[in-house]
Amino acid sequence: MSSEHHSGSLIDNASRSKDDQSGDSATGQSPAIELRGLSKKYGDLDAVRQLELSIRSGEFFTLLGPSGCGKSTTLRMVAGLEAPTEGQVYLEGKDVTATAPERRSTSTVFQDYALFPHLTVLGNVLFPLRMKRLPRSEGLDKANKILQLVGLAGLEDRRPEQLSGGQRQRVALARSLVWRPRALLLDEPLAALDFQLRREMQDMLKELQSEVGITFMLVTHDQTEAFSLSDRIGVMNDGRLEQVGTPHELYYQPRTLFVATFLGNINLIRGQVESSDNDRVVARCGPLRVAGRSVSGSIPPGTDVTIGIRPESIRQNAAHTAAINTATCRVLSTTFLGSQEVTLLEIAPGIHWRCYEERGRTTSNIKGGRTMTATWDAEDALIFTDSDDKKKLPL
Ligand code: ADP
C-alpha cells in the first residue's frame, strides 16, 4: 500500500466498499496480515506453534480459544510487542518481523483501556496525531470525526475518571483509529464490561468496522462474541490453529473434536467403525448403530471413533422405524427456555444427551420418566477419529 493511502479522512476510507478489498485471490492484493511459521517459546513452553494464517484486507478476523492457548501472544507478535522465536509477520505483503511497533501500520486496543488519566477525551484522541506531528486543525477535524463515529460527541472535555467503562473503551478505540492504521488489533477489549454493555459494544464494534473499512483482528475466549462479530474465526488450542473458517463452517463442519466441543453444545458417544464408504461411516456404539459423516475421509473398520450430534439435530418421536440413527430413550427432564425447550435424554445406560426443540414444534408435553424415540440424520452425525477429551465421553 502506498503512503497516500494513509492521508485521507476516515470517512473517505469508509466509502471504499468491502468488495473492493475483499480478497487476495480476487484482487491480487496482499493479505492485510500474514503469519508464516510463527512460533513463540517462553523457556520450555511452546506458547504459539508454527502458525500459518492469512487475513484479508477489510476482514473482521477473530482468534478464539480457551485461556492460555496463545491468542494474545499471537496478537502481540502481530503488533510487534513480542518477538517471535521463529517465523515471520507480514503486513500488506511487507515483512515487519523486525519492525518496531510504532513503525507498523497496526494499532492495538487492550482490555484495560490504557488511557492517559490527566488528558481529556479529546486530548487522549489527539495524542497519537501529536506524536505524528499533524497540524492541530487537521488533527481536531480527524478527532471530532472519530469521536462522532464511536458515539462520544459531546464528551470531549471529560477526563477518563468521569466516564463509564464502556465510554472509556470507546475513547481507547477512537485513539487507536484516529491516525488511520491499516489494521486494528483488539485484545479482549470487552472482557471488563458487564453482559449488557458487552452486547452494546459488540454492535458498536461491528458498525465501526464497516464504517472505517479496515482490517480488525480480535482476540476473545467468548464464542458468542466471536460468532456475532467475525467474518472468519481461527480456533486455537494449545498454541496451534486447529481450524480457520466462517462461523457457519466451524459449527457445522468442525474438523476436530476440539473445535466441535468448543463451539456450542454437542452430544458425544464413542464407538467402533463397522463399515465405511468414503466419508460415509456406520459405527457400533454399545446398543446403538450410528450412520454418520466422517470429518476426515474414509476410516477403516475397527477404528475407535467419537460421534458428535448437535442437540438441535435430534428429533423427538418422529415416525422413524429404521434400526439405525434411532434410540429409544428415557426423558430425564424438560426445561422451558422461552424460544426453546431443552430435553435431557438417557440415550443408553449412563449416556445423557441434550435435545433442543423450538417452542411449538414439541408434539407432546413430555414429562421426566417417559420413554420416547430420538432420531437424527446421517448428515448431522459427525465422526471423529481424534478423542482428545476422553474423560468426558461415555462408552
Ligand atoms: P491466551 O491469550 O490465549 O490466554 P497467552 O498468549 O496470553 O494465552 O499465553 C499463552 C501461554 O504463554 C500461557 O501458558 C501463558 O502463561 C504463557 N505466557 C504468556 N506470556 C508469557 C510471558 N511473558 N512469559 C512466560 N509465559 C508467558
Transcribe 42-82 into DSSP letters. Answer: ETTEEEEEEEEEEE-TT-EEEEE-STTSSHHHHHHHHHTSS
What's the CA gap between 23 and 25, in Å, rounded? 6
Cα–Cα distance for residue pair 70/259, rounded to 1 Å: 16
Q: In angstroms, what is the span from residue 126 Cα to ligand 1's centroid?
A: 32
Nearest-CA neighbor of 334 among 361, 374, 366?
366
pLDDT at 142: 93
Please report whether residue 139 resides in a domain: yes
Position in ligand 1 atom list of the atom nearest CA 65: 3
pLDDT of residue 1: 35
Which of 231, 252, 273 delimits the end of a domain?
252
Edge-first strand listing for the sheet containing 232-237 = 106-110, 183-187, 215-220, 60-64, 232-237, 240-245
- pLDDT of 20 reads 37
Give the pLDDT confidence score for residue 4 in this predicted structure.
33
Q: What is the DSSP string of 283-337?
A: EEETTEEEEEEETTS---TT-EEEEEE-GGGPEES-S---SSSEEEEEEEEEEE-
Q: Are residues 222 and 342 in the same domain?
A: no
Q: Is 70 in the pocket of ligand 1 (CB under 6 A)?
A: yes
Task: Return the best residue to mutate from 38, 44, 45 for the ligand 1 pocket (most ligand atoms within 8 A of CB).
Answer: 45
Strand-pair category, 215-220 with 60-64? parallel
Which pLDDT belongs to residue 11?
A: 35
Q: Are residues 83 and 173 in the same domain?
A: yes
- Ligand 1 atom, smallest distance to 75 CA: 6
Ligand 1 atom closest to residue 73's alpha carbon, by position in its atom list: 6
Same domain, 173 and 308: no
Strands of the sheet with 371-375, listed across from one edge: 315-316, 371-375, 326-336, 340-348, 351-358
What separation in angstroms does the CA of 182 have from each of 59, 94, 140?
A: 11, 13, 20
- Same domain, yes or no: 222 and 281: no
Q: Do residues 155 and 269 both lie within one domain?
A: no
Domain co-membership, 162 together with 239: yes
Distance 199 CA to ligand 1 centre (A): 27
Residues 105 and 174 in one domain: yes
Task: Indicate if 241 and 274 belong to the same structural domain.
Answer: no
Inter-residue long-range contacts of 278-286, CB under 8 Å, 24+ positions, other chains counted:
280/378, 281/305, 281/383, 282/324, 283/307, 283/383, 285/348, 285/395, 286/348, 286/351, 286/395
* Residue environment code for 239-256, b if the CB has 16+ CB neighbours within 10 A, otherwise e: bbbbbbbebeebbbebbb
In whole angstroms, how large is the CA radius of gyration of the chain?
25
Please tell me the distance from the alpha carbon of residue 245 to that of residue 250, in angstroms, as a whole number: 6
Whether 394 is in a domain gets the answer no
Give 118's DSSP letter.
T
**Domain of 331: which CATH number?**
2.40.50.100
CA distances from 379 to 299, 313, 383 (A): 16, 10, 10
pLDDT at residue 2, as a whole number: 36
| 50 within a domain of the structure (yes/no) | yes
What residue's CA is closest to ligand 1, atom 12? 47
CA of residue 381 to ligand 1 center, whole Å: 35
Say whether both 242 and 305 belong to one domain: no
Same domain for 41 and 157? Answer: yes
Burial class (CB in 10 A: 0-12, 13-18, 19+), 15: exposed
For position 68, which CATH number holds?
3.40.50.300
**CA 73, CA 355: separation in Å to the nearest integer?**
38
Atom of ligand 1 nearest to the CA of 236: 3
- For residue 392, the cross-strand partners are none
- 126 within domain boundaries: yes
C-alpha of residue 71 to centroid of ligand 1, in Å: 8
First vs last C-alpha separation in the chain? 56
Domains in the chain, number: 2
pLDDT one-digit tens code per residue, 307-364: 999 999 999 876 666 789 999 899 998 888 887 889 999 988 888 999 998 765 555 5
Q: What is the DSSP string of 175-239?
A: HHHTT--SEEEEESTTTTS-HHHHHHHHHHHHHHHHHH--EEEEEES-HHHHHHH-SEEEEEETT
Q: Residue 395: inside a domain, yes or no?
A: no
The answer to whether the CB of 42 is under 6 A from ligand 1 is yes
Host domain of residue 284 = 265-360+367-388
Percent of the chain clearing pLDDT 90 (strictly above): 69
Distance CA 222, CA 63 (A): 10
- End position of a domain, from candidates 201, 227, 252: 252
Q: Are residues 121 and 234 both part of a single domain?
A: yes
Residue after which a domain boundary falls, among 201, 228, 252: 252
Is residue 271, in this structure, part of any structural domain at all?
yes
pLDDT of residue 306: 95
Q: Which three cell numbers stand for residue 70?
A: 496463545
- AA letter at 99: T
| Ligand 1 center to 294 CA (angstroms) | 34
Residue 151 covered by a domain: yes
Q: What are the pLDDT tens digits along the chain (395 aa)?
A: 333 333 333 433 333 333 333 345 556 789 999 999 999 999 999 999 999 999 999 999 999 999 999 999 999 999 999 999 999 999 999 999 999 999 999 999 998 878 999 999 999 999 999 888 888 888 999 999 999 999 999 999 999 999 999 999 999 999 999 999 999 999 999 988 888 889 989 999 999 998 889 999 999 999 999 999 999 999 999 999 999 999 999 999 999 999 999 998 999 999 999 999 999 999 999 889 999 999 988 999 999 999 999 999 999 876 666 789 999 899 998 888 887 889 999 988 888 999 998 765 555 555 567 888 999 999 999 999 976 554 444 44
Residue 60 lies in a domain: yes
Q: Rounded to an integer, what distance in angstroms lies between the CA atom of residue 368 and that of residue 350?
A: 16
Q: Are residues 241 and 292 in the same domain?
A: no
Q: Which of 69, 72, 73 to mutate to test the pocket of ligand 1 (most atoms within 8 A of CB)?
A: 73
